[in-house]
Structure 1
Amino acid sequence: MPSRPSAPSRALVAAALGWLTLVSPAPAEEPLAVTAVTARTETPTARSTLIGEITAPETLQASFPLGGRLTAVRAQVGDHVLKGDELARIEQVQQAQALRAAEAQLSAAEAEHAAAQSAAQRQAQLFERGATTRSDRDSAADRFAAAVALKTQAEATLDQAKQALEDTVLTAPADATVTDRFGEPGQVVGAAQPVLELAVGQGFEATFNVPETVLTASRAAPAEVELSAIDRPGLTVTARVKEISPLVDPARGTVEATVALEENLPGLTYGDPVRGSTTWQDEPGISLPWSAISSGVEGPSVWVVSPEDNTVSERPITIARYSEHRILVEEGIAEGETVVTRGAQLLFPGRKVRIVEAPE
C-alpha cells in the first residue's frame, strides 16, 4: 500500500501551486464596446412654436362719467360699432327730473328777466322826463341786473342737466370692435368703471407668453414670426416682433411678446388663438448629444477616446447652453476629438474601448 505524504510535503506542494498562480499572466481585458461621436463645430438652429392670441394695436375702455345702475348693454363681444352708436345705458330718473326742474327754473328766470328789463326801460324813460326819482330808476336797474344773473345761472344749470342726462347713455367714441364686456343689466357701476373694451384703429397684433429660456437661448432675438390659425396650419402670414416686455412673470417665468401682422389672417378676429413659430441660429460651437454627458467630481464631464491606444479619459466641460436634444459646449472639448455617447457608466480612466455603430 502506497504511503501517504507527510504534512510538510503537502505544505510544500500547496505553496508551489500558489506561486505558479501568482506568476501566471492574467487574461487580457476585452475592450468595452461603446458608441461615440466626433466633436464638430456646428451652428445650432432652433425652432420654437407657441400659442398666442390676436389683439388690437390700440384699445380703450368705455365707461360712464357718473355712477348708476345699468339698464341696458346693447353691444356684445365681437360686434363692430360706428362712432356715435349707443353701447349701454344707466338709470336716468334723477337726471330727467333734474332736467325738468332746470327747465322750469329757466322759464321763471326768463319771465323775471323780461319783467325786470321792461321796468328798467320804463323807469329810465320816466327819469329822462323828470317823472320819477333817481332812486326808483336805480332800483329798477338793480332788479334787471339781478334778473340777468339769475337767467344766466338757470341756463348753466339747464346745460348741466342736459349733459348729465346725455351721460346716462354710453356711445362709441369712434369706429371700433367690442373685445370685452365687463357689465350686465342690473349691475351698479361707478363713475369711470369700465363697461366695455373697444379695439380702435387698423390692423391686428398677436401677443405670446414666451418662456424666458427661449428668449435667452439666442444672443439675437428673432425679428420675424410665422403665424397660422390653429385649425388651418397651412394658411400663414408673417409678423414682425414689435415689443418684448422687460419684465418676467414671477409665477410662470414668461415674458410677454407682441408681434404686428403684416396682413390679416382671413377668418380671425380679436381674441382668437393663433400659432406662432420662429427659427433662429446661434453662434457656432461644439455640439454634443445629451447622452455624452456624465457626472464628474467637478461637474459635467465627458469621456474622450485617445486615438493612439483607444483608452478613455474623463474630461470636465463647461456647458454654454442646453437645447432639446443636444448641448452646446463652451470649454473642454476641441473639434475632432472622439467622445463616448453610450456605455459611459462602465468606464474608468485608462479603460480600452471598441467603438461600434449606434443601434437604430
Structure 2
Amino acid sequence: MRSLLHILLALMVAAAAPAGADEPLKVTAIRAATIEFNRRMGLTGEIAARETLSAAFPTGGRITSISVNDGDRVEDGAELARIDRVQQEQALRSAKAQLAAASAELTAARDNEARQSQLFERGATTRATRSAATDRLAAAAARQAQAEAELNQAESALEDTVLLAPNSGTVIKRLAEPGQIVGAAQPVLQLALGDRYEAVFNVPEAVLNFGTAAHAPPPITLSPLDRPNVTVSGTVREVSPLVDPASGTVKVKVAMAHPLTGLSYGDAVRGGTEQTDGSGIALPWSALTATSQGPAVWVVDKADSTVSLRQIAVSRYTSDSILVESGLDEGEIVVSLGAQLLYPGRVVRYEEPAQ
C-alpha cells in the first residue's frame, strides 16, 4: 500500500513539473528562403497537319469507288474517288442529240434565209417572206447556243462525278466509303497540304495562364510516347479563344521545328513545358499544420530555441511542397519534422537537413 502511494506521489510531482524542465526536443528544421516557383506540365496530344483541305464532290450521289487510303501521297490532279454517273451520262447523250438537232435546224434556216434574200433581190418573193426567214434563222441560232450551253453543263456534271486532288498532299482520313450516298460539298477525304507538322493539345483551362502580353507562351518539348529521349522543340502557334464546355479544356496548337522520326498524322505525342509562377518561400508538406484560422507552421526563435505557431497564407500546393504567399520572412527557421510533439514555448534542438 505504501509503495502504491509513493508511485502516485511521483506521478503527481512529474505532472506538476514546469514545462521548461523538459529536455530540448530534437527536430529537423528548414531555413525559409525565397526561390522561383517553376511548374512542370506534361500532356499527351496528337500530330496534325499545319494546313488541311477537305475534298468533296460538287454534286451528290452514291460513291462507287475510292482510289486512296489513309497515309497515301497524292499529286495535284490525281483521281481520288468516283460517284455513280449513269444520270450524268444520259444527260450528256441527250445534250449531244439536242445540239445535233439544233445545228441541223440552224443549217436549214441559214440556207432558207439565203435563198429568200436572193429571191427578194430579183423580186420573186415578198419582203414579209424574207423577214420570216431571217427571224427563223435568228431563232435557230439561239437554240443552237442554248444546246451548246446545255452540252457544256452536261460535260461538266459528268466531270464532277470524278473527284480529283486539288493540290498535292497526303490523305489523312477517309470520311466516306464506297456505296455511301453523299450530298453536294460533303467531305469525302481530308488531305494534309505541304510537309509541315504541328501538335494539338487539349489543355485544362485552370492551368492555362499564357497567351497574353504578361504571360508569353513557354517553349514546348515534344517527344514520342515510347521514346522520351527523342525530342524536338515546339512553339505555341495558336490558342483557341473557346473553352470546350464538356471537358473544360482549350485547344492549343504547337508548331514543330522538325518532324519526329517515326510519327505521322494522327499519332500520339508527349508535350512538356516548364512555367515560372513568380517567387516565394517553399516548404515541405511535413512542415504544415493547421489551426482554426487555417494553415500554420512552427517557427523557431533563434534567441532561445523555443517554438511558436505562425499562421501563413498558402498560394499553391504542389505534389511535394507548399508555396507560401505570406506569413514568413526570409531566413526564419521552420520545423519540418517532429512538429507533432510541439507546443508553444517548447525548447527544441534542431538541425537543418543536408542539402
The TM-score with structure 2 as length reference comes to 0.88
CA distance in 1, matches of 2:222, 2:125: 91
- Write the deviation string for residues 286-344 of structure 1: whole angstroms up to 9, x where unpaired: 11122222232222222222222333222222222233322221111111111122333
For residues 292 and 211 of structure 1, the distance between their equivalents in structure 2, rounded to whole angstroms, comes to 30
CA distance in 2, matches of 1:348, 1:148: 111
Q: Which residue of 2 aligns with 1:80?
A: 73
Identify the residue that residue 172 of structure 1 maps to in structure 2. Answer: 165
Superposed, 1:200-211 pairs within 5 Å as 200-211=193-204
Cα–Cα, structure 1 residues 170 and 351, in superposed 2: closer, same or farther, change >3 Å? same
Aligned to 1:216, what secondary structure does the other structure show? coil
Cα distance in structure 1, aligned partners of 2:157 and 2:283: 72
Partner SS, residue 208 of structure 2: helix
Q: CA deviation at 1:222?
A: 4.2
The verdict on how the C-alpha distance between 1:352 and 1:214 changes in structure 2, with shifts beyond 3 A counting, is same
> Aligned partners of 1:308, 1:39: CA distance in 2, in Å?
17
Question: Could you tell me which of 46, 71, 90 is aligned with 2:39?
Answer: 46
Q: Deviations over 1:22-70 (max 9, x none)?
A: 8995263344443221110112333333222111111111111111111
Q: What is the letter of the counterpart of residue 158 of structure 2? A: L
Counterpart among 239, 243, 246 of residue 238 in structure 2: 243
Residues 150-178 of structure 1: CA deviation (Å, up to 9, x unaligned): 11111111111111111111111000111
For residue 325 of structure 2, what is the amino acid of its counterpart?
Answer: E
Partners of 2:15 and 2:335 in 1: how far apart?
A: 34
**Is 1:222–1:278's contact at 8 Å kept on the other side of the alignment?**
no
Q: Of residues 17, 21, 32 in structure 2, which corresponds to 1:26?
A: 17
1:312 aligns with 2:307: yes
Find the partner of 2:61 among 62, 68, 79. Answer: 68
Matches within 5 A, 1:117-266: 117-216=110-209, 220-266=215-261
Code of the aligned partner of 1:198? L
| Whole-angstrom CA distance in 2 between matches of 1:295 and 1:181 | 59
Cα distance change, pair 23–101 in 1 and its aligned pair in 2 (3 A): closer
One-letter amino acid of the structure 1 residue matched with residue 48 of structure 2: T
> What's the CA shift string for 1:211-243, capped at 9, x where partnerless?
334433997344322222233333322222211
SS in 2 for 1:304: strand
SS in 1 for 2:142: helix
Equivalent residue letter for 2:17: A
Match among 248, 272, 279 for residue 277 of structure 1: 272
Give the distance between the partners of 2:290 and 2:244, measured in 1 at CA. 32
Which piece of structure 1 moves more, 342-351 or 129-138? 342-351
Residue aligned with 2:63, SS: strand
2:36 counterpart letter in structure 1? T
Question: Gaps spanning 5+ residues in structure 2: where?
Answer: none
Preserved contact between residue 95 and residue 165 of structure 1 (Cα < 8 Å) = yes
Contact in 1 for aligned 2:113/2:137 (Cα 8 Å): yes
Q: In 1, are the aligned partners of 2:224 and 2:268 still within 8 Å (CA)? A: yes
Q: Is the 1:305–1:311 contact (alpha carbons within 8 Å) kept by the matching residues of 2?
A: yes
Give the secondary structure class of the aligned counterpart of 1:201. Answer: strand
Of the two, which has the highest radius of gyration?
A: 1
The Cα shift of 1:89 comes to 1.0
User: How many residue pairs align between the two structures?
Assistant: 343
> Would you say the 8 A contact 1:70–1:90 is kept in 2?
yes
| 276-285 or 161-170, which deviates more | 276-285
- 1:211 maps to a residue whose letter is P
Tell me how far apart the structure 2 counterparts of residues 51 and 256 of structure 1 sit (CA, whole Å).
12
Q: Which residue of 2 aligns with 1:329?
A: 324
What letter matches 2:330 in structure 1? E
> In the alignment, residue 67 of structure 2 is paired with which amino acid?
R
Higher deviation after alignment, 42-51 or 109-118: 42-51
Find the residue that maps to 1:283 and give its secondary structure: strand
Alpha carbons of 1:142 and 1:238: their partners in 2 closer, same or farther (altered >3 Å)?
same
Is the 2:29–2:350 contact (alpha carbons within 8 Å) kept by the matching residues of 1?
yes
Is there any run of 5+ residues in structure 1 with no aligned partner, and where? 1-13
- What CA distance in whole angstroms lies between the structure 1 residues aligned with 2:15 and 2:260? 82
Give SS of 2:278's match. Answer: coil
Matched with 2:283 is: 288
Normalising by structure 1, we get a TM-score of: 0.87
Letter in 2 for 1:174: N
CA distance in 2, matches of 1:24, 1:91: 100
Change in 2 beyond 3 A, CA 1:184/1:22: closer
- Does residue 100 (structure 1) correspond to residue 77 (structure 2)? The answer is no
Matches of 1:302 and 1:248, distance apart in 2: 39
8 Å CA contact 1:222–1:280 kept in 2: the answer is: no
